């Protein structure tokens, strides 16, 4: 029987997930469908239950339902618990629902795989303290950087995130100007500044020789953050398209037990 999966969000018309999962399924010849569901505001749990009752095996969850998905899950992975957000649901045979968050691991896999920069023993600056930054923290710490700094426009939010992960590693937090004079090997822009064409006001000299500037935003060419990085000593920049594909690949792995090759799928999206 054909296995059914879906992404649920509101709005949902913009989603690339069906295209990604169709490409992954083709790689393995898996018999599955993947549809996009417009989740009703106030009716998320019912929509998930209906999909499951109709034979669904798992779902991706996007804005604005990631916290409702966290509450709906019977069990959470450590990543999802720390992120306080769920982007992947797996409907288990015993009737329970597992909640996972693959965004951060997708980011880390993209940086270390496609981009080719190892995070171990590196000085990492994470900009932003919203949902994406929250999801990235544990996967970043698992790679054992020598230093991890969270900097945010609202420093108190960065500090709250630091406190949340303090047990997992040595993390510092503050505002953008608080780390002037420090250099970083990897700077990750997990703010939404690039969505509105804005730059993040980093101190001059933040980029170490050979450093990487990675913007989670994609589809906008070189963002002001990426251009500023190149002008200020970064050796390479990358956008978040690879992360998008890699987080989808992690969900596919959770459901299907095989890990797709992301490279041809990233190429397909770029060509489109």
122 annotated as ligand-binding: no
Separation between Cα atoms, residue 13 and residue 114, nearest integer Å: 28
> Does the bond joining 161 to the residue before it have cis omega, within 30 degrees of 0?
no
Question: Residue ranges of the alpha helices (H) in 9-126?
Answer: 17-28, 44-53, 66-72, 78-83, 103-112
Question: Closest CB to ligand NDP among 17 and 91?
Answer: 17
Shortest Å, Cβ 168 to ligand NDP: 19
Closest residue to ligand NDP: CB criterion = 130
Radius of gyration of the chain (CA): 19
Residue 20, both tokens = 């990604």
146 annotated as ligand-binding: no
Question: Closest CB to ligand NDP among 92 and 198?
Answer: 198
H or E stretch including 138?
helix 131-142
Provide CB contacts within 8 A for 178, sequence distance 6+.
Answer: 151, 155
Question: Closest CB to ligand NDP among 38 and 156?
Answer: 156
Question: How many other C-beta atoms lie within 10 A of the C-beta of residue 151?
Answer: 27
Question: Closest CB to ligand NDP among 211 and 247?
Answer: 247
Active-site residue flag, 66: yes
103 annotated as ligand-binding: yes
Separation between Cα atoms, residue 121 and residue 128, nearest integer Å: 22
Catalytic-labelled residue, pool 57, 66, 90, 122: 66
Cβ atoms 72, 48 nearer than 8 A = yes
33 annotated as ligand-binding: no
240 annotated as ligand-binding: yes
Give the Å distances, CA to CA, from 141 to 136, 144, 203, 253, 259: 9, 5, 24, 22, 22
Task: Give me the sign of the Cα torsion angle 25, 259, 99, 91.
Answer: positive
Question: Closest CB to ligand NDP among 84 and 183?
Answer: 84
16 annotated as ligand-binding: yes
Task: Give me the sign of the Cα torsion angle 82, 88, 89, 92.
Answer: negative
For binding to ligand NDP (CB under 6 A), which residues are involved?
A: 103, 128-133, 152-154, 157, 190-193, 195, 198, 200, 216-218, 240, 243-244, 247
197 annotated as ligand-binding: no
Shortest Å, Cβ 218 to ligand NDP: 5
Shortest Å, Cβ 128 to ligand NDP: 4
Shortest Å, Cβ 247 to ligand NDP: 6
Shortest Å, Cβ 248 to ligand NDP: 9
Cβ atoms 98, 90 nearer than 8 A = yes
Residues belonging to the binding site for shikimate are 15-17, 62, 87, 103, 218, 247
Give the residue numbers annotated as catalytic, written as ranges: 66
Residues belonging to the binding site are 15-17, 62, 78, 87, 103, 128-132, 152-157, 216, 218, 240, 247
Residues belonging to the binding site for NADP(+) are 78, 128-132, 152-157, 216, 240
């Amino acid at each position: 029987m054909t296995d059914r999966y879906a992404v649920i969000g509101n709005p949902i018309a913009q989603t690339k997930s069906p295209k990604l999962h169709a490409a992954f399924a083709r790689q393995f010849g898996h018999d599955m469908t993947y549809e996009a569901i417009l989740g009703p505001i106030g009716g998320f749990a019912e929509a998930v239950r209906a999909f499951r009752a109709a034979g669904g095996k798992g779902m991706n969850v996007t804005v604005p339902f990631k916290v409702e998905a966290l509450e709906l899950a019977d069990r959470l992975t450590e990543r999802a618990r720390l992120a306080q957000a769920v982007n992947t649901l797996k409907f288990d045979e015993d009737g329970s629902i597992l909640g996972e968050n693959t965004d951060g691991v997708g980011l880390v896999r993209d940086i270390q795989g496609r981009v080719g920069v190892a995070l171990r023993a590196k000085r990492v600056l994470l900009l932003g303290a919203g949902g994406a930054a929250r999801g990235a923290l544990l996967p970043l710490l698992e790679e054992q950087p020598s230093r991890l700094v969270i900097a945010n426009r609202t420093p108190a939010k960065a500090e709250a995130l630091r406190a949340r992960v303090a047990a997992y590693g040595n993390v510092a937090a503050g505002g953008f100007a608080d780390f002037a004079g420090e250099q970083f090997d990897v700077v990750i822009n997990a703010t939404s500044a690039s969505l509105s064409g804005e730059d993040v006001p980093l101190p001059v000299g933040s980029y170490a020789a050979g450093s990487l500037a990675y913007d989670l935003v994609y589809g906008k060419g070189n963002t002001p953050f990426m251009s500023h990085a190149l002008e200020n000593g970064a050796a390479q920049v990358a956008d978040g398209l690879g992360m998008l594909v890699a987080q989808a690949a992690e969900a596919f792995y959770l459901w299907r037990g095989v890990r797709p090759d992301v490279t041809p799928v990233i190429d397909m999206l770029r060509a489109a």
